[in-house]
Structure 1
């Protein structure tokens, strides 16, 4: 389960929840096939479609050294109707 890091909750991703689409930050080097396998196995759902998004790097400057922010990948996962993923526990 190291491939999937955390769910992303922004204004856009909350709107996508109405369309049965969930957004997760995933490992940069993982493939769509690996992510689909882990989502279906861990949450017991059926994946209908997947979209990946790699945002551009941002420059960071610390003194005279110029570096880049850490790379990450986001996956927007569409589930088949009748399935859902609980993002929050009811405790």
Structure 2
């Protein structure tokens, strides 16, 4: 895995009520990732970008919802999320720049 690929694996953090609770209780952080990302790539990308130690990675594929716009049927894009659990003593602070 080259460094350029690892820099493109993470698309951004998912900030929601569920992800905030997971971060507080279980040291899990949720990221949107590219659809073809593998668990070892996600682990190395998080360790590279945030300088933390990753304990494990779980990946979820969420299918896009079917929507209607009048008579036109459409579909939202699907999302691949990674739940990353950090090792004891590691932490990511997304609000540091504020």
Query: What range is the shorter-chain TM-score in?
Result: 0.7 to 0.9
Q: Give the match for residue 16 of structure 1.
A: 22
| Structure 2, gaps ≥5 residues long | 1-6
Q: Cα RMSD over matched residues?
A: 1.6
Structure 1 unpaired stretches of 5+: none
Q: Which residue, 10, 24, 28 being the options, matches 1:4?
A: 10
Q: CA deviation at 1:11?
A: 1.3
Match in the other structure for 1:89: 96
After the TM superposition, which segments of 4 or more aligned residues of structure 1 sit over 2 Å from their partners?
60-67
**Please, what TM-score do these two structures have when normalized by structure 1?**
0.87
Aligned residues: 91
